[in-house]
């Protein structure tokens, strides 16, 4: 395993073109020091290194090295939050999406502790325009003052497409008189080798929340799953509150509400329904991917699927559902099927989903045509290649080359 430590320099703050950038120099074992930064349109205070320690925690657990921070860290996190977060990840044990560094191990966070800073007056929620974040906004609409949108949170898009992606979020913020906070960071690039996005995204949400210290006292994190379907995941009701300090409380929103119930609530709000964005595409719902189809299916069941928004067409055929690859989204589809069966409606759509869930496309041979088996084969090949390269000592040069290529591609898009 790598030796050494993840070292974080004392953070600095700069202001430019209406944005505030907090940054530090991070040194990872076997790599040259590099800048780690979070840029935000909200002028939060910089009272600690909480944000950068949050980003470094899971990579340090994977590498089995301590985090050494020159900047002070909240005593709340040092004494309570970080130890408990680590215990949860140790219980979860493995990161199945990262075969190179699969295990989580306890580690140390070495830094000077300090008292938490002053509370801000605002209340924020993360908002992307999707079902989960739209529901969270509706649930706390009277207390929320800030909407946080993280650019390139799941996917990287060219600048012109990224601008279109945020257009709907800005529209909602303006209509509801909320302050929009647009955030950018290079944390995914810096740490992507060590922790899968499935787990790392929760730490990134916490880091962004702490960067707004002094402006907001509470940050809502929209829930992804209801209580029936909770699995190890980066944003989780057992994890999110543990990232809190007395200055910034992180709240994992309701798990007692299903995706269909969330969709029903949003369907009654014309503004959020019109700006609902559930697709992998950055700015317009394609209407054909599994995320779009599952939302169309829910709106169809609720008699709220109409032409114009959030999809260009109100058509949803049994053939579309029958051939869809929905294994990963099975709980969401099953919930709508149960609802339609209770109501005695759309039997042809119910039959199509049941065929998609249990028919030929779910068999090992059928999965070849859906991509599941192909994806598993790629992961297996990646593990074998990593073992082979480890034996020859060429893993680190390849990582450096990949990081260099990512940076060049990022610069080429900006």
Instruction: Give me Rg for the CA atoms of the chain.
Output: 22
Q: What is the pLDDT tens value at each position of the chain, 414 positions in all? A: 456 999 999 999 988 888 899 999 999 999 999 999 999 998 766 667 999 999 999 999 999 999 999 999 999 999 999 999 999 999 999 999 998 899 999 999 999 998 888 888 999 999 999 999 999 999 999 999 999 999 988 777 777 777 777 888 999 999 999 999 999 999 999 999 999 999 999 999 999 999 999 899 999 999 998 998 899 999 999 999 999 999 999 999 999 999 999 999 999 999 999 999 998 777 778 888 888 889 999 999 999 988 778 888 778 888 888 877 776 788 889 999 999 999 999 999 999 998 888 766 566 666 665 555 555 566 566 656 656 665 565 655 665 565 555 555 544 444
Rounded Cα distance, 221 and 239, in Å: 11
Rounded Cα distance, 108 and 202, in Å: 20
Instruction: Give me 313's structure tokens.
Output: 């067409």
What size, in residues, is the chain? Answer: 414
Question: How do residues 211-242 score in pLDDT, each as one tens digit?
Answer: 999 899 999 999 998 998 899 999 999 999 99
Question: How do residues 306-318 score in pLDDT, each as one tens digit?
Answer: 877 888 877 888 8
**Measured at the alpha carbon of residue 203, what is the angle toward residues 333 and 403, in degrees to the nearest 5?**
100
Report the 10 Å Cβ neighbour count for 119. Answer: 17
Whole-number average pLDDT of the chain: 86
């Amino acid at each position: 395993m790598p030796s050494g430590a993840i070292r974080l320099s004392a953070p600095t703050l700069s202001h430019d073109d209406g944005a505030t950038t907090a940054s530090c120099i991070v040194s990872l074992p076997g790599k040259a020091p590099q800048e780690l930064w979070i840029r935000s349109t909200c002028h939060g205070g910089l009272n600690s290194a909480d944000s950068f320690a949050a980003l470094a925690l899971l990579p340090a657990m994977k590498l089995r090295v301590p985090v050494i921070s020159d900047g002070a860290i909240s005593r709340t996190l040092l004494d309570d939050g970080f130890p408990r977060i680590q215990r949860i990840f140790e219980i979860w044990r493995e990161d199945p999406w990262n075969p190179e560094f699969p295990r989580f191990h306890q580690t140390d966070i070495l830094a000077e502790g300090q008292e938490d800073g002053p509370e801000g007056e605002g209340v924020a929620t993360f908002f992307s325009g999707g079902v989960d974040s739209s529901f969270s906004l509706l649930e706390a609409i009277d207390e929320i003052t800030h909407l946080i949108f993280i650019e390139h949170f799941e996917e990287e898009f060219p600048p012109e497409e990224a601008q279109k992606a945020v257009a709907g979020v800005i529209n909602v913020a303006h209509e509801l008189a909320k302050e929009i906070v647009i955030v950018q960071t290079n944390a995914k690039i810096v740490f992507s080798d060590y922790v899968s996005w499935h787990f790392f995204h929760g730490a990134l949400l916490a880091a962004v929340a702490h960067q707004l210290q002094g402006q907001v006292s509470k940050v809502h994190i929209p829930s992804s799953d209801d209580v029936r379907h909770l699995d190890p995941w980066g944003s989780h009701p057992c994890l999110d509150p543990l990232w809190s300090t007395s200055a910034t409380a992180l709240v994992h929103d309701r798990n007692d509400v299903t995706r269909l119930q969330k969709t029903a609530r949003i369907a009654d709000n014309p503004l959020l329904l019109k700006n609902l964005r559930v697709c992998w595409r950055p700015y317009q719902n394609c209407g054909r991917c599994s995320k779009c189809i599952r939302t169309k299916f829910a709106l169809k069941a609720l008699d709220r699927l109409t032409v114009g928004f959030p999809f260009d067409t109100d058509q949803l055929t049994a053939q579309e559902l029958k051939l869809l690859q929905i294994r990963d989204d099975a709980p969401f589809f099953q919930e709508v099927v149960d609802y339609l069966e209770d109501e005695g409606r759309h039997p042809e759509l119910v039959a199509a989903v049941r065929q998609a869930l249990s028919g030929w496309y779910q068999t090992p041979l059928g999965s070849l045509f859906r991509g599941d088996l192909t994806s598993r084969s790629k992961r297996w090949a990646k593990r074998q290649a990593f073992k082979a390269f480890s034996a020859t000592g060429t893993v680190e040069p390849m990582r450096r080359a990949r990081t260099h290529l990512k940076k060049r591609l990022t610069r080429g898009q900006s």
